[in-house]
Amino acid sequence: MSTGVLLVDGLSDPVPVDPNSIFLDTIPPSPDSTPPGERAGKAEPQVSDRPIGAFILSLLGGVLILAEGAILAALSSAVGSAGCVGCSEAGQVIGGVGAFGVLMGILVVILSVILLARPENHLGLGIAILVFSLLSFFGGAGFILGLILGVVGGILAIVFVPEDDETPLPGDPGWIPARAPDWPCPKCGAWVSGFSTVCTRCGTARPAPTTAQAVGP
């Protein structure tokens, strides 16, 4: 069977094509074309590609942890200046607990914002949010609710699976070629499935595609 060439706009060299090829999009690429599977650039993640639930829960948990830590830090000065026996020591302890809670809250808030901006790092960020939320127990725990929200948000970030909205290109994993249309046999007139290269009734070979301009022997 003879082989022709396909003239494609924008390409300097003709591309060889088998007239009996089932799929038009399986024509070998020109040396000037982009190799299969390569993309010019990676688009920014869409909303569906971001761990929104993990971000919201982690952010709320961090804010609560930060708020209770700030309250304890402010309360420590009042307790320390009360003038009672042991009040000074108690104020220092409360102040230390509050300062630790403020630090843990700030870290959880920052990590939750990074999680929204860099969802591809969800595993490491989720582990960090989970650890700092658990450590906030020694800093007041954000009224307990903050610790719970941070832990749940961290777990959601760890198990997050981003959606792939990109359409696979030829050569990409999961790419499925479109089925060629059915064609009429030029000899007996029977309609043949696009998957077949010969007529199932008389054995006549499928004619060259009419949608491509083929020239050559």
CA 52, CA 48: separation in Å to the nearest integer? 8
Residue 34 has pLDDT above 80, yes or no: no
Q: pTM of the prediction?
A: 0.57
pLDDT digits 0-9 by tens, 118-167: 999 999 999 999 999 999 999 999 999 999 999 999 999 999 987 654 55
Going from N- to C-terminal start, the domains of the chain cover 51-158, 180-217
| pLDDT value, residue 200 | 86
* Alpha-carbon distances of 35 from 59, 68, 171, 174, rounded to whole Å: 42, 56, 9, 17
Write the CA distances from 212 to 2, 104, 191, integer angstroms.
16, 64, 21
pLDDT per residue as tens digits for the range 68-101: 999 999 999 888 777 787 888 888 999 999 999 9
Counting runs of H as helices and runs of E as strands, what totals does the chain give? 4, 5
Which residues, 6 or more positions from 18, have their beta carbon under 8 angstroms from its beta carbon? 1, 3
Q: What is the largest CA-CA distance in the chain?
A: 109
The yes/no answer on whether domain 180-217 falls in CATH 2.60.60 is no
- φ/ψ region of 5 (left if φ > 0, alpha if ψ in -120 to 50, else beta) reads beta
Which pLDDT tens digit goes with each residue over 169-204?
Answer: 666 665 556 667 888 998 888 888 877 888 888 888
Residue 182 DSSP one-character state: P
Query: What is the rounded end-to-end Cα distance, in angstroms, of the chain?
Result: 10
Q: How many CA atoms lie within 13 A of 61 on its CB side?
A: 34
